[in-house]
Chain A
Amino acid sequence: MNDWLFVAPLLILGLGSILMMLVDAFAKEKSELAILSSITMGVAGMISASALLSGAEAADAPEMVTRFLAVDPAALFFDVVICFGGALSALLAGGYLREHGLERGEFYVLLTLTTLGAVVLGRSTDMLSLFVGLETMSLGVYAMVAFRRGSSTAIEGAVKYFLLGSFAAAILLFGSALMYAATGSTSFTGIAAAMGDADPKLVLIGLLLIIAGFGFKVSAVPFHMWTPDAYEGAITPATAFMSVAVKSAAFAVFVRILFVTFGDELSMSLASGWPPVLAGLAALTMVYGNIAAVGQENVKRMLAYSSIAHAGYILVGIVAAFRVGSEAVSAVLFYLLAYTFSNILAFGSLILLGSRGREAVSFNDLRGVGRRHPMAALPFILGTLSLMGFPPTAGFLAKYYVFSAAVQAGGSMILLAILGMLTSAIGAFYYLRVTVFMFMRDPEPGQVKAIPMKSGYVVGALAISSLFVLGLGVMPGDVLEAASRAASLLLG
């Protein structure tokens, strides 16, 4: 019975999405698919959360599952991050799609199936299950980006994302093929075991290709080109989902592959392995993401660049882990959880501030909206404070743990931490600029004023995220403990 607990989230997501397809096809009147999909993902996430917090051991999970999918605490932790991100996005979509006349049932089916793909990707322990999960997730996201099919920006974003995403998948596949050629195995542990006899040149090229493939998925500079267009073109709930769940799943498997497969001395050294490459990526990503976000006139594009910048901070944590070990990995886990709730807050309140076919997307749309509707602007301020890393929010602790892990790692990692803090200061500028427009600028004469929508779904999602952002910031104890247990078991 106990071992079923560890695969239950996958089964629930799979069966739930098939059920939703049938409901969508056969229901006579408008069905409540938003709440159904949100509950499906929420339950899946809560099962993983309870298994994680109760400290249950997957003593004898069937070998058929464990060969391809991990059942360790790290897998459960990422389940929680991904499923909660999905559930909150479904709630946001429930308000958004109805308000803008886009209510079509397939969005929720796609969202749930994509979450299933993301969970499989986050749990994968084999190149084969990794690729199946990656494609299940990616194909769903491409369709969600193109959901507003009459809009040219949506199609532009979707095509760019699709082409670059397929290209990245091919690069990743080529990297894993080279690893198979070098070691004769596709499983993460199998590759690691055979690493000693493998041709180091093949391993290095395979490693670099795999890093490049994941670089696309987590939108690290210089693989970020698709991000602003896809984020801007997608409907806002899909953007929120991409920026939290898809990114977390990619980071989940990235961390696992780096420390399980490429955890040997040679691959983890400063001279000949992945730490210097990732450090370079992290520095580029933090600097470019933050600087490019400053000049944006569209809030969704600004948040896209901010999500690029956050990928950079997370990469700092991963790089630091090559010396500090599980402490840095647990900081990365905590960061992803905090980032999920903060970003849902930012995108969710952007959704809340638009109504009846008119979305609030540019800085000018937001002029004065904070003074007219202070309650609707409040979640955005909380979200951006957390993204900035301001106490007592979750984002502050997340940044603190990641950067202090980097300082502990010493050497050139300290420089990375300093760079991270400096670029965070740039971040404060563009996040606060939104608040300035909301409260200190009057609408231009003749401009249509933004009116917040009335939606229980969106308000509910915002309330839940606010609770978590503040709760994780004030008493992170249990979650931190779970994260550090997950990290230490992952690094073994």
Chain B
Amino acid sequence: MFAIYLPVLLLIIVATLVAVGMFTGTSVAGPKNPTPEKMLPYESGSNTTGASHLRQSVKFYLTAILFVVFDIEAVFLYPWSSLFRDLGWFGFVEMLAFLVILGTTLLYAWKKGALEWET
């Protein structure tokens, strides 16, 4: 029963061998001429200043999570619209209920000030 997956296994093995082989090949055979500039994390850019662990404002997180919530929920509309004829009035009412709940949450987030950037 697992025989049909054999090509996949072979593909994984070949891909791994090719990738590992290329990196080993270049690092063994390629010329090395390191300069301080080349050893920087980003070769062409300004030097980093300050600590790398900056504190980000929690507002970004809030905006991101609101985007994810409403974006993912809106995705439900696509399969619904393609099946709209088959579902009929039942589907319409179901989606209406869903949208009312979604709208209520938007209202809640709005009223609670989650959409305000300056607070």
**Interface residue ranges, A against B (CB under 8 Å):** 18, 21-22, 24-26
Contact = CB atoms under 8 A, between A and B. Distances in A.
Nearest to B90: A64
A18 B111 CA distance: 14
Interface of B: 101, 104-105, 107-108, 111-112
Contacts of A24: 108
Nearest to A21: B108
B96 to A, nearest CB: 14
B111 A26 contact: yes
The 8 closest A-B pairs by CB, nearest first: A25-B111, A21-B108, A25-B108, A18-B104, A25-B112, A26-B111, A18-B101, A21-B104
Nearest to A15: B101
A26 B108 CA distance: 8
Nearest to B110: A25
Contacts of B104: 18, 21-22
Contacts of B105: 21
A316 to B, nearest CB: 40
A25 B107 contact: yes
14 contacts: A18-B101, A18-B104, A21-B104, A21-B105, A21-B108, A22-B104, A22-B107, A22-B108, A24-B108, A25-B107, A25-B108, A25-B111, A25-B112, A26-B111
A25 B112 CA distance: 6
A155 to B, nearest CB: 14
A391 to B, nearest CB: 48
Contacts of A21: 104-105, 108
B55 to A, nearest CB: 16
A47 to B, nearest CB: 21
Summarize B's interface: helix, strand, loop or mixed: helix
A26 B111 CA distance: 7
Contacts, number: 14
Summarize A's interface: helix, strand, loop or mixed: helix
Contacts of B107: 22, 25
Contacts of A26: 111
A432 B43 CA distance: 69
A26 B105 CA distance: 13
A272 B111 CA distance: 57
A150 B101 CA distance: 31
Contacts of B112: 25
A22 B105 CA distance: 9
A17 B99 CA distance: 16
Nearest to B105: A21
Nearest to A18: B104
B105, B108, B112 pick with most chain A CB within 10 angstroms: B108
Contacts of B111: 25-26
B59 to A, nearest CB: 16
A25 B113 CA distance: 10
B114 to A, nearest CB: 10
B29 to A, nearest CB: 44
Given A18-B104, A22-B104, 10 more contacts: A18-B101, A21-B104, A21-B105, A21-B108, A22-B107, A22-B108, A24-B108, A25-B108, A25-B111, A26-B111
A25 B107 CA distance: 8
Nearest to B97: A14
A18, A21, A24 pick with most chain B CB within 10 angstroms: A21
A10 to B, nearest CB: 13
A245 to B, nearest CB: 23
Contacts of A18: 101, 104
Contacts of A22: 104, 107-108
A18 B107 CA distance: 11
Nearest to A26: B111
Nearest to A64: B90
A135 B83 CA distance: 27
B38 to A, nearest CB: 40
Contacts of A25: 107-108, 111-112
A24 B110 CA distance: 12
B98 to A, nearest CB: 12
A278 B108 CA distance: 45
Nearest to B100: A18
A25 B108 CA distance: 6
B88 to A, nearest CB: 14
A18, A24, A25, A26 pick with most chain B CB within 10 angstroms: A25
A22 B110 CA distance: 11
A201 to B, nearest CB: 12
A103 B24 CA distance: 61
A21 B104 CA distance: 8
B90 to A, nearest CB: 9
Nearest to A106: B112
Nearest to B1: A199
Nearest to A24: B108
Nearest to A199: B1
A21 B101 CA distance: 11
A21 B112 CA distance: 10
A88 B104 CA distance: 27
A18 B104 CA distance: 7
A105 to B, nearest CB: 9
A300 to B, nearest CB: 29
A24 B111 CA distance: 9
A402 to B, nearest CB: 41
